[in-house]
């Protein structure tokens, strides 16, 4: 068994803070006794505790001994040096007990500060742990700082993929890159049959050096070698860890056996380690072959490129090198490569750059909450210090060392800080749990968000800064009251020093202003989200069931068999009870990404690349538009007669029609999708293809029958009633026809749209939550300040009432005082919100960042809540008994 | 006799511990002896502080043995009482005896520490 070691941190501290000879002598004994104690049945924890106590005690004893007691030769005084430590601890205990007693007497203060601290610290911890896990942690590859991503770049498309042929040239010629790997842009689903359930898995075709470029070695077996990519090489495949466990029970005997993929056998040569699924969700890797269809054509940009820089080569150097190569390729292959280059970005940036704006907003929000919390703690501490000024000055006058009093205050604030910090950690852990279940799936590595060492350090710093700093400094200022003044003016019932109350008022104003800004942001996001939800997608959303089906290769090998297969499937599905329409498409609407194809109007062939119109292409069955409830604006839908061999037809959307034939009728014209011209037989209304928030792309639809045979299609099934009730029947109907057809990704259209809104929904909820917290904190600040105001002015209020002011007058006075501060805060907040409106523009949909309705509504809410916060102390002021207050003087 | 030649209570305990331990008198054992027999919980810092002072006064001498792995490669520091130290200890005991002579404690309670 391993012998445990004494805590290294303790050793380091000892040698750092005590003389070398102490370190030398003591450490040896400590280690020896530590190991001796380990052999006894004393628990590990207690042993370490003993160790730490020894180290700290020795340090303290050493340093206090050095602190110069007057007579170094007087051994009678020095004999109990361990008493110094004990005395210090006893003092600390005494201070703690005194502090706790004080908290029990006025629990409001302690509770308020702890809660406020807890909220501030919790928010920061939550945000930082998210940042830490999602962005700051390095990518899970070998030396990730040397990895780069290569975009194919042209003027029109700065972030594009690259063709296989171009990739090979770059791979051969770029010397600044140690290796350059590529993987297919799309992750084709693969159907595994034989030896178990038919299973659909995500696969990818990769260059043989992808794994080695990323620095990941297979868990079992081998990865790919360059031999595997040549034409005519053996069919091999590498499994993902999850798939290996699921289908082969994690047995190494699986290596070398055959796996049937889409009807063909592939030899399993290796298994990747657990957790590896690059480029995302991949369970199966094939070597990309130089003779495959995806590798042909220098203009078929089917690959994304990842590379590793050679040691010592900076990315700029590699970048200039690939630019030179790109230019050479442009000259060598002008038709394909004109205007195309390669841009290298650090891999980390490629994955996380798009998160930056959202994260910045989150950080800003949390920063605001923290500032409000700090202001709250400071004003509460100041107020409390003033009320205690009598007590403190009496103690000072009676001979207590100023240092002692200061230490007392420090202990108090330390306790509050510890309490607040602990509460903050607890709240943050709740928040993290909520985040992991509710957070958007698009946030990478969400499941690794947690509180680790780094996060704890940050929490500690924030706790100390907020709780200690903002608590201690105002408190100390509060001790600067002379005894005479304190006794003369009656201590707790005095109007405090001018500067103190001015400072407190400033803090309240700041809190109100900051929380108003947060509330306005939240309001804008809410309105934006509501608008998003209300966007008409251009098709029917209710009663729509989606399902993805794939016809396995064996039985459906040629286009005719495939089309017949789909006909049969559709026929069966349409016959199900509750189904009123069925259509199919290769890529369902409401999605991200999608390939653009360059098209042009026949007869208007563009002279250069810039003249082409990029449009989204879809393959659909006849009846798709009707089932989905898409409006046919002109012309007709596809028919069964639009099949292979008949003249090529297409249906385009309004957007494309407007772009290609701006003021003409598109029906009868032809769209050229190189090199094929297709007659436009119909125009459909625009649809929100990429989700409610994104603009409508130009689209053209092609009948499935006129394609080379699509084996994977998404069914759109219109039902009466709840779509999910059809789901079970759908499976049965399909498997009756062929049990090898996987039916997957069942969802309703409404769910699909909802998940497209996950990010905005999450943002809105988060900012809303923090804005609500800020409102609570600010109200607390207003209430507390006013409460102390009343307490301090009791005498004055009593005098007023004694000379004839009514209770109502007093009420009015207090409220006016409070609302004056709130009004200033609101004014500042509005100004601030106007000034920073621009920041939110990118996140708002259909709402101006200076939307009047939002500004007005939020302001009124704030005033109302603040008014309530003023009311409570005001009413208490009304109840001041003049005779009691005056005679108490 | 100068004031500095009187031993404080703790110094006496330490010298007694060294005498009790004999050949095994090194840092760790001294501390344990004080803890076990005299029931005094002390830190290493205190023990070594006192031993250093006693050595400076010439009552005790120390030397380092060979380094040992169980100590992280550090050497044990052994102590031995010098004749002057024994003398000082005896003086302290005599002084106390003289003061105790004739004194009877009114309350005979066992004060356990």
pLDDT digits (tens, 9 = 90+) for A435-472: 887 776 666 677 778 888 888 888 888 888 887 778 77
When pLDDT is cut at 50, 70 and 90, the band that residue A239 belongs to is very high
> Is residue A502 exposed (0-12), middle (13-18) or buried (19+ Cβ within 10 Å)?
exposed
* Mean pLDDT over the full length of chain A: 84
pLDDT at B31: 93
* Nearest alpha-carbon partner for B18 in B2, B7, B5, B4: B7
pLDDT at A424: 92
A49-53, A70-74, A252-256, A765-769: least confidently modelled range: A70-74
Mean pLDDT of A480-506: 60
When pLDDT is cut at 50, 70 and 90, the band that residue A75 belongs to is very low
Residue of B10, B45, B85 to mutate, interface with A, max A Cβ within 10 Å: B45
Interface predicted TM-score (ipTM): 0.85
Could you read off the pLDDT of A97-150 as tens digits, one per residue? Answer: 888 888 888 788 888 889 999 998 999 998 888 888 877 778 888 888 899 999
DSSP B98-113: HHHTT---SS------
> Is residue A867 exposed (0-12), middle (13-18) or buried (19+ Cβ within 10 Å)?
middle
When pLDDT is cut at 50, 70 and 90, the band that residue A82 belongs to is low
> Is residue B98 exposed (0-12), middle (13-18) or buried (19+ Cβ within 10 Å)?
exposed
pLDDT at A888: 64
The better pLDDT of the pair A196, A180 is held by: A180
Model-level pTM?
0.65
Instruction: Report the residue from B8, B43, B74 with minimal CB separation from A27.
Output: B74
When pLDDT is cut at 50, 70 and 90, the band that residue A297 belongs to is confident
The pLDDT of residue A69 is above 60: no
Residue of B3, B36, B44 to mutate, interface with A, max A Cβ within 10 Å: B44
* Interface contact A86, partner B, CB < 8 A: no
* Interface contact A23, partner B, CB < 8 A: no
DSSP state of A605: -
When pLDDT is cut at 50, 70 and 90, the band that residue B29 belongs to is very high
Mean pLDDT of A645-667: 90
> With an 8 Å Cβ cutoff, are B45 and A58 in contact?
yes
**Tokens 């027999």 belong to residue:** B37
A385-399, A716-730, B59-73: least confidently modelled range: A385-399
> With an 8 Å Cβ cutoff, are A28 and B74 in contact?
yes
Query: Which stretch of DSSP H or E encloses residue A172?
Result: helix A164-173
The pLDDT of residue A866 is above 70: yes
Mean pLDDT of B15-19: 94
Mean pLDDT of A542-556: 84
Contact A450, A133 (CB under 8 A): yes
pLDDT at A179: 92
Mean pLDDT of A253-280: 89
Contact A216, A340 (CB under 8 A): no
Report angle CA A509, A127, A365 to the nearest 5 degrees: 30
Contact A556, A262 (CB under 8 A): no
The pLDDT of residue A225 is above 80: yes
* Interface contact A35, partner B, CB < 8 A: yes
Instruction: Report the residue from B6, B26, B45 with minimal CB separation from A62.
Output: B45
pLDDT at A495: 46
Mean pLDDT of A540-556: 84
Please give, rounded to a whole number of angstroms, the shortest distance from the CA of A46 to a CA of chain B. 16
Mean pLDDT of B47-55: 91
When pLDDT is cut at 50, 70 and 90, the band that residue A270 belongs to is very high
A273 φ, ψ (degrees, to nearest 5): -70, 165
**Tokens 């499941």 belong to residue:** A447
Percent of chain A with pLDDT over 70: 93
pLDDT at A332: 92
Mean pLDDT of A709-717: 87
The pLDDT of residue B21 is above 90: yes
The pLDDT of residue A869 is above 50: yes
pLDDT at A224: 93
* Nearest alpha-carbon partner for B70 in A341, A810, A37: A37
Mean pLDDT of A789-793: 78
> Is residue A579 exposed (0-12), middle (13-18) or buried (19+ Cβ within 10 Å)?
buried
Instruction: Report the residue from A21, A29, A73 with minimal CB separation from B28.
Output: A29
Instruction: Report the residue from B3, B45, B68 with minimal CB separation from A26.
Output: B45
Mean pLDDT of A710-720: 89
* Interface contact A4, partner B, CB < 8 A: no
When pLDDT is cut at 50, 70 and 90, the band that residue A83 belongs to is low
Exposure string for B14-32, b = 16+ CB within 10 A, e = fewer: bbbbbeebeeebbbbbbbb
When pLDDT is cut at 50, 70 and 90, the band that residue B107 belongs to is low
pLDDT at A681: 93
The pLDDT of residue A79 is above 50: no
Question: Rounded to whole angstroms, what are the CA distances from A462 to A83, A123, A212, A791?
Answer: 35, 11, 42, 32
**Tokens 């091999």 belong to residue:** A236
pLDDT at A167: 94
When pLDDT is cut at 50, 70 and 90, the band that residue A698 belongs to is very high
Set of chain B residues whose Cβ sits within 8 Å of the Cβ of A30: 44
When pLDDT is cut at 50, 70 and 90, the band that residue B113 belongs to is very low
> With an 8 Å Cβ cutoff, are A28 and B10 in contact?
no
A255-264, A438-447, A805-814: least confidently modelled range: A438-447
pLDDT at A590: 83
pLDDT at A73: 40
Set of chain A residues whose Cβ sits within 8 Å of the Cβ of B27: 25-26, 28-29
Q: Which of helix, strand or coil describes residue A433?
A: helix
Please give, rounded to a whole number of angstroms, the shortest distance from the CA of A61 to a CA of chain B. 6
A179-193, A390-404, B48-62: least confidently modelled range: A390-404
How far apart CA B25 and CA B77 sit, in angstroms, is 9
Set of chain A residues whose Cβ sits within 8 Å of the Cβ of B75: 28
* Interface contact A18, partner B, CB < 8 A: yes
Could you read off the pLDDT of A146-167 as tens digits, one per residue? Answer: 999 999 988 767 788 899 999 9
pLDDT at A654: 93
How far apart CA A281 and CA A200 sit, in angstroms, is 12
Could you read off the pLDDT of A815-831 as tens digits, one per residue? Answer: 888 899 999 999 999 99
* Interface contact A83, partner B, CB < 8 A: no
Set of chain A residues whose Cβ sits within 8 Å of the Cβ of B41: 82
Please give, rounded to a whole number of angstroms, the shortest distance from the CA of B103 to a CA of chain A. 23
What the block records as the tokens of A541 is 């959303």
Question: Rounded to whole angstroms, what are the CA distances from A370 to A21, A65, A361, A379, A510?
Answer: 46, 42, 14, 14, 12
Mean pLDDT of B16-24: 93
Set of chain A residues whose Cβ sits within 8 Å of the Cβ of B7: 75
A68-72, A181-185, A278-282, A464-468: least confidently modelled range: A68-72
Query: B70 to chain A: nearest residue by CA?
Result: A32
The pLDDT of residue A3 is above 80: no
A290-299, A395-404, B24-33: least confidently modelled range: A395-404
Query: B8 to chain A: nearest residue by CA?
Result: A76
């Amino acid at each position: 068994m391993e012998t445990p070691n004494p805590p290294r941190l303790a050793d380091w501290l000892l040698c750092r803070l005590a003389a070398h000879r102490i370190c030398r002598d003591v450490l040896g004994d400590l280690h020896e006794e530590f190991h001796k104690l380990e052999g006894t049945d004393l628990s590990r924890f207690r042993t370490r505790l003993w160790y730490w106590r020894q180290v700290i005690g020795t340090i303290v004893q050493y340093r206090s001994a050095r602190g110069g007691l007057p007579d170094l030769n007087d051994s009678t005084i020095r004999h109990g040096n361990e008493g110094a430590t004990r005395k210090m601890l006893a003092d600390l205990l005494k201070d703690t007990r005194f502090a706790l007693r004080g908290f029990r007497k006025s629990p409001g203060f302690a509770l308020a500060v702890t809660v406020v601290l807890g909220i501030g610290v919790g928010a920061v911890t939550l945000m930082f742990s998210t940042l830490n896990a999602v962005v700051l942690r390095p990518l899970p590859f070998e030396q990730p700082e040397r990895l780069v991503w290569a975009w194919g770049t042209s003027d029109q498309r700065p972030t594009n993929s690259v063709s296989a042929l171009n990739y090979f040239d770059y791979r051969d010629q770029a010397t600044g890159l140690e290796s350059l790997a590529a993987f297919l842009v799309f992750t084709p689903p693969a159907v595994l049959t034989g030896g178990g359930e038919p299973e659909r898995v995500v696969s990818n075709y990769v260059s043989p050096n992808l794994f080695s470029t990323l620095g990941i070695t297979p868990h079992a077996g081998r990865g790919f070698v360059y031999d595997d990519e040549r034409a005519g090489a053996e069919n091999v495949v590498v499994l993902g860890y999850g798939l290996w466990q699921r289908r082969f029970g994690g047995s190494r005997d699986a290596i070398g056996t055959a796996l049937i993929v889409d009807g063909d056998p592939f030899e399993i040569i290796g298994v990747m380690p657990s957790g590896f699924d690059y480029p995302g969700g991949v369970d199966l890797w094939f070597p990309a072959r130089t003779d495959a269809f995806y590798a042909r054509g220098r203009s078929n940009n089917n690959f994304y490129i990842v590379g590793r820089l050679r040691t010592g080569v900076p990315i700029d150097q590699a970048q200039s090198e690939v630019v030179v190569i790109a230019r050479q390729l442009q000259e060598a292959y002008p038709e394909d490569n004109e205007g195309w280059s390669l841009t290298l970005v650090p891999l980390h940036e490629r994955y996380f750059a798009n998160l930056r704006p959202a994260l910045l907003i989150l950080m800003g929000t949390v920063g605001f909450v923290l500032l409000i919390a700090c202001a709250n703690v400071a004003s509460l501490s100041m107020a409390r210090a003033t009320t205690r000024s009598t007590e403190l000055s009496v103690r000072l006058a009676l001979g207590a060392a100023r240092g002692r009093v200061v230490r007392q205050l420090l202990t108090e604030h330390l306790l509050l800080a510890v309490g607040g910090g602990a509460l903050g950690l607890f709240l943050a852990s709740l928040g993290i749990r909520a985040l992991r279940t509710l957070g958007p799936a698009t946030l990478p590595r969400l499941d690794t968000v947690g509180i680790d060492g780094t996060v704890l350090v940050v929490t500690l710093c924030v706790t100390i800064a907020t709780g200690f700093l903002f608590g201690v400094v105002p408190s100390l200022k509060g001790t600067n009251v002379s005894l005479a003044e304190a006794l003369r003016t009656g201590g707790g019932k005095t109007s405090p020093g001018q500067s103190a109350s001015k400072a407190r008022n400033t803090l309240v104003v700041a809190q109100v202003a900051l929380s108003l800004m947060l509330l306005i942001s939240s309001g804008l996001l809410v309105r934006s989200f509501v608008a998003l939800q209300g966007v008409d997608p251009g098709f029917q959303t209710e009663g729509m069931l989606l399902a993805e089906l794939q016809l396995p290769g064996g039985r459906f090998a040629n286009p005719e068999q495939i089309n017949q297969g789909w006909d049969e499937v559709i026929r069966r599905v349409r016959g199900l009870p509750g189904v009123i329409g069925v259509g199919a498409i290769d890529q369902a609407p409401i999605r991200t990404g999608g390939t653009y194809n360059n098209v042009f109007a026949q007869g208007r062939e563009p002279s250069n690349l810039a003249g082409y119109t990029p449009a989204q292409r879809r393959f659909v069955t006849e009846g798709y538009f009707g089932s989905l409830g898409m409006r046919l604006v002109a012309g007709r839908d596809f028919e069964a007669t639009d099949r292979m061999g008949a003249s090529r037809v297409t249906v385009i959307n309004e957007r494309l029609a407007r772009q290609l034939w701006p003021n003409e009728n598109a029906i009868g014209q032809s769209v050229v999708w190189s090199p094929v011209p297709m007659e436009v037989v119909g125009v459909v209304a625009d649809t929100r293809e990429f989700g409610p928030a994104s603009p409508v792309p130009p689209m053209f639809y092609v009948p499935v029958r006129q394609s080379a045979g699509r084996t994977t299609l998404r069914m759109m099934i219109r039902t009466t009633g709840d779509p999910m009730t059809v789901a079970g029947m759908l499976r049965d109907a399909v498997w009756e026809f062929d049990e090898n057809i996987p039916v997957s990704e069942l969802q309703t259209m409404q769910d699909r749209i909802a998940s497209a809104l996950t990010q905005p929904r999450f943002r809105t909820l988060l900012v809303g939550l923090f804005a609500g917290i800020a409102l609570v904190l600010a109200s607390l600040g207003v209430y507390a300040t006013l409460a102390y105001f009343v307490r301090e002015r009791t005498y004055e209020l009593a005098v007023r009432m004694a000379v004839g002011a009514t209770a109502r007058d007093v009420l009015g006075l207090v409220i006016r005082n409070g609302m004056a501060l709130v009004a200033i805060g609101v004014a500042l907040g509005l100004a601030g919100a106007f000034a920073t409106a621009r920041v939110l523009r990118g996140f708002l949909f259909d709402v101006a960042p200076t939307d009047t309705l939002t500004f007005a509504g939020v302001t009124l809410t704030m005033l109302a809540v603040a008014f309530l916060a003023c009311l409570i102390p005001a009413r208490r002021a009304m109840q001041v008994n003049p005779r009691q207050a005056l005679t108490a003087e | 006799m100068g004031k500095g030649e009187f031993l404080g209570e703790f110094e006496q305990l330490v010298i007694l511990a060294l005498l009790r331990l004999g050949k095994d008198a090194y840092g760790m054992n001294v501390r344990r002896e004080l803890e076990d027999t005299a029931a005094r919980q002390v830190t290493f810092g205190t023990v070594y502080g006192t031993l250093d002072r006693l050595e400076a006064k010439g009552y005790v001498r120390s030397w380092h043995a060979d380094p040992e792995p169980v100590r992280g490669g550090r050497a044990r520091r052994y102590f031995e009482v010098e004749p002057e130290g024994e003398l000082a200890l005896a003086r302290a005991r005599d002084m106390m005896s003289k003061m105790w002579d004739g004194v009877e404690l009114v309350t005979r309670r066992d004060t356990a520490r």
